[in-house]
Structure 1
Amino acid sequence: MPAVSNSSTRRDVEFDADGTTLRGWFYPAPDSAPTAAVVMAHGFSLVKEAYLDRYAERFVAAGLAVLVYDHRNFGASDGSPRQEIDPWRQIEDYRHAITYASTLPEVDPDLIGVWGTSYSGGHAIVVAADDLRVKAVVCQTPAVNGVQTGWRRIPMTQLAAAGERFAAERIARMQTGEVATRPVIGDAADGPVYAADDAFDYFTAVGEIAPSWRNEVTVRTGEWSRAYNAGDHIERVSPRPLLMIVADDDTTSGTDLQLSAFNRALEPKWLQIIPGGHYGPYVEQFEATSSAAAEFFATHLHTSRR
């Protein structure tokens, strides 16, 4: 197996996405010939420095090229309003990233896979379902059912009030142009997106290694996320091979919701269940999750044929 790469082997890249410049890193494969490539981006509010370099290096060690980028409105990428997540724009930007990767001389455009995690794990499913250029997909602890997870985070008695806040923010934005935000983590009184202890610990650690990460998203981000059901697309991923990595105690994306989506997926498909919660894959379960994804891509993108 080729040696694991390091940051000195990658190069900074940027590409156009309908008039918005997205920026990231490109890692060439050890093989000088055009080879298979993985396109990847992070999950909800996160930036590429939050452990994605580790995954990219593992994929390079398996003989793959990798394109990692920041979503629009986040990190090094352009876009406004800052800190706003429109899942459908992010999905379209995955497709722009695939297009860009296919133009690079180091990449075989017929051998491109997509990798996503958490929120972008859901995106990876949708992209693979709709874009025939995708030849294999890995979704890690994917957010597959925004409606159900939204109901679980907000008690039924508070749904009306939440709807009123979304409506009020839209009126204020129209009248003043000001964009309201809310914290990703924090005290319950501040209305964070994630109130669980494991989320607080993970995002706090991210803040130490990824200076461009900001502890906020727009209020409208939450409204969109509650209506986004990526799992509705999973049957159409076939016949492209699918690997889903699920944590057995995921209280963020819901272990049961992910397994239900996986059961609806058609063959060929593979499931890896790992111990722990939603944020375990990046550190505690990194060896298991990165190795499984690297082997899956190396096998199903046929890099070994060279």
Structure 2
Amino acid sequence: MKSIAWERELSNAKIEQRSIMIMSRNQILAVGLCLLALPFNLPTFAQEDVSRAAWKAKPYPPLPDDVMRKQVVIWSDGTRMAGDVYLPKNVAADVKLPAIVFVHGTGGVKKMPWSIKLGVESARRGYAFLNFDYRGWGESDSRLMMLEEMPEPDAEGKVAVKARAIRWQMDFGDQITDIRNAIGFIAGEPNVDFERIGVFGTSYGGGLATWMAANDPRVKCAVAQVPGMGGQRGLPYYQHAYTLMAQQARGEVEPVPFKTGAPGGTMAAYKHIRYNPSKNVVYDVFRAVEKLKTPLMIIDAGNEELMDITQQGGLVAQIVKENSSPVEYHVIEGMTHYGIYGEHQDAILKMELNWFDKYLKKSNE
């Protein structure tokens, strides 16, 4: 006999979907469309098709002769995350490099060719570059949700349970933890100067990188490109999020979105992704940047098709500037959201690495 109410209600998934996804037009703009991502030729996947095994089997493109890559395991709250560290080839054992931690947007993983290019070019400029998959994304292990009552642990604290693998969650609270642990990992690398670490985020990862720059003292410089900053939140957002939280806590709907929570509209191609607004109440970029002191560069697309940049990157840049903190804001005319991963990548990456150089490199480097 199933012990929790939501298991009895899975046959009513359509009803649950409506209860979770009902939002006003303003909420959708603030919470959904601005939390965007990557690759410009993303195929349409079902959730079960975007497996960890498939990403592990996907080969890397060849590396240039002057760059090396090592695959690493990053522990985040007890779950293994898969990461790649890019370094200049033959770097001396006693050399301490500045480091960049890359933060992906929707569906972004470390084996995407455009993100591999970021690692290669950063290493060529003298950086250690960490590209990683969030928990439950790409090659990283899944978090687990037990589907039945947990038995008593044995003498070693071990249990055998029936569980669901939780994957592809848009869960900012957990992803903030993942980024913190990625920073912790790179800070411990032998060739890294832990006092010179930057974060580099794209799409909704640009918002996460901005939030981290405002809240984590280890971050000394940040770049956010085509960023979805999450929108300014009002009473309707919090009413929706806390109502959903109550329903999840009581087992009246799925405690973690699985059959429900898939994006729609312009985000429908990412149908393997699951939104969970109740987990995102801890994350507010606009409040965070009111105290930001870390140097921040924002790159927006002049032909951005997925959000109003004046209410996203443009507004954040304005807030930071009014606080007299170091900020550069650039709008690339003629570029679309996804153009930053294609024809515009080379020119923009030079700007971004110059920004990191300014704040993370020593004068004699």
Indicate the TM-score class for this superposition, using the shorter chain for normalisation: 0.7 to 0.9
Is residue 9 from structure 1 mapped to residue 68 from structure 2 by the alignment?
yes
Query: Quick one: distance in 1 between partners of 2:353 and 2:209?
Result: 16
Q: Using the TM superposition, give the Cα deviation of residue 79 of structure 1 relative to its aligned residue in structure 2, in angstroms.
A: 2.5
Cα distance per residue 1:112-167 (max 9 Å; x no partner): 1110011111111111111111111111111113357xx9xxxxxxxx99999998
Check 1:145–1:100 CA distance in 2 against 1; reply closer, same or farther (3 A cut).
Answer: same
Query: Quick one: distance in 2 between partners of 1:162 and 1:97?
Result: 28
Cα distance per residue 1:57-104 (max 9 Å; x no partner): 111121111011011110011133111121121112111111111111
Tell me if structure 2 keeps the 8 A contact 1:246–1:274. yes
Query: Quick one: distance in 2 between partners of 1:8 and 1:134?
Result: 24
What's the % identity of the aligned pairs?
Answer: 28
Paired residues for 1:256-267 under 5 Å: 256-257=310-311, 258-265=313-320, 266-267=324-325
Is residue 91 from structure 1 mapped to residue 146 from structure 2 by the alignment?
no
**What residue number does 2:78 align with?**
19
The one-letter code of the counterpart of 1:49 is: K
The one-letter code of the counterpart of 1:292 is: M
Query: Quick one: distance in 1 between partners of 2:330 and 2:208?
Result: 19
**What residue number does 1:209 align with?**
none
**What residue number does 1:273 align with?**
331
Given the alignment, which residue of 194, 207, 213 partners 2:267? 194
Paired residues for 1:163-182 under 5 Å: 171-174=252-255, 179-181=258-260
**What residue number does 2:103 align with?**
41
Check 1:14–1:253 CA distance in 2 against 1; reply closer, same or farther (3 A cut).
Answer: farther
Query: Quick one: distance in 1 between partners of 2:66 and 2:103?
Result: 17
Tell me if structure 2 keeps the 8 A contact 1:124–1:137. yes
Is residue 109 from structure 1 mapped to residue 171 from structure 2 by the alignment?
no
Query: Quick one: distance in 2 between partners of 1:161 and 1:101?
Result: 37
Q: Using the TM superposition, give the Cα deviation of residue 251 of structure 1 relative to its aligned residue in structure 2, in angstroms.
A: 3.3
Q: Secondary structure at the match of 1:245?
A: strand
Q: Secondary structure at the match of 1:37?
A: strand
Check 1:34–1:178 CA distance in 2 against 1; reply closer, same or farther (3 A cut).
Answer: closer
Query: Quick one: distance in 1 between partners of 2:177 and 2:77?
Result: 9
Larger Rg belongs to: 2
Is residue 142 from structure 1 mapped to residue 227 from structure 2 by the alignment?
yes
Query: Quick one: distance in 2 between partners of 1:99 and 1:163?
Result: 31
Check 1:162–1:72 CA distance in 2 against 1; reply closer, same or farther (3 A cut).
Answer: closer
Query: Quick one: distance in 1 between partners of 2:273 and 2:215?
Result: 28
Paired residues for 1:286-301 under 5 Å: 286-301=345-360
Cα distance per residue 1:40-71 (max 9 Å; x no partner): 12102221223211111111121111011011
Check 1:101–1:249 CA distance in 2 against 1; reply closer, same or farther (3 A cut).
Answer: same
Check 1:61–1:7 CA distance in 2 against 1; reply closer, same or farther (3 A cut).
Answer: closer
Q: Using the TM superposition, give the Cα deviation of residue 232 of structure 1 relative to its aligned residue in structure 2, in angstroms.
A: 2.3
Q: Secondary structure at the match of 1:194?
A: helix
**What residue number does 1:285 align with?**
344
Check 1:219–1:241 CA distance in 2 against 1; reply closer, same or farther (3 A cut).
Answer: closer
The one-letter code of the counterpart of 2:301 is: A
Query: Quick one: distance in 2 between partners of 1:8 and 1:59?
Result: 10
**What residue number does 2:121 align with?**
58
Q: Using the TM superposition, give the Cα deviation of residue 255 of structure 1 relative to its aligned residue in structure 2, in angstroms.
A: 1.0
Q: Using the TM superposition, give the Cα deviation of residue 17 of structure 1 relative to its aligned residue in structure 2, in angstroms.
A: 1.0
Q: Secondary structure at the match of 2:88?
A: coil
Given the alignment, which residue of 297, 318, 322 partners 1:243? 297
Runs of 4+ deviating beyond 6 Å: 160-170
The one-letter code of the counterpart of 1:217 is: I
Paired residues for 1:119-130 under 5 Å: 119-130=204-215
Is residue 255 from structure 1 mapped to residue 328 from structure 2 by the alignment?
no
Q: TM-score, normalised by structure 1?
A: 0.77
Query: Quick one: distance in 2 between partners of 1:111 and 1:162?
Result: 37
Tell me if structure 2 keeps the 8 A contact 1:183–1:193. no
Tell me if structure 1 keeps the 8 A contact 2:87–2:126. no
The one-letter code of the counterpart of 2:181 is: H
**What residue number does 2:43 align with?**
none
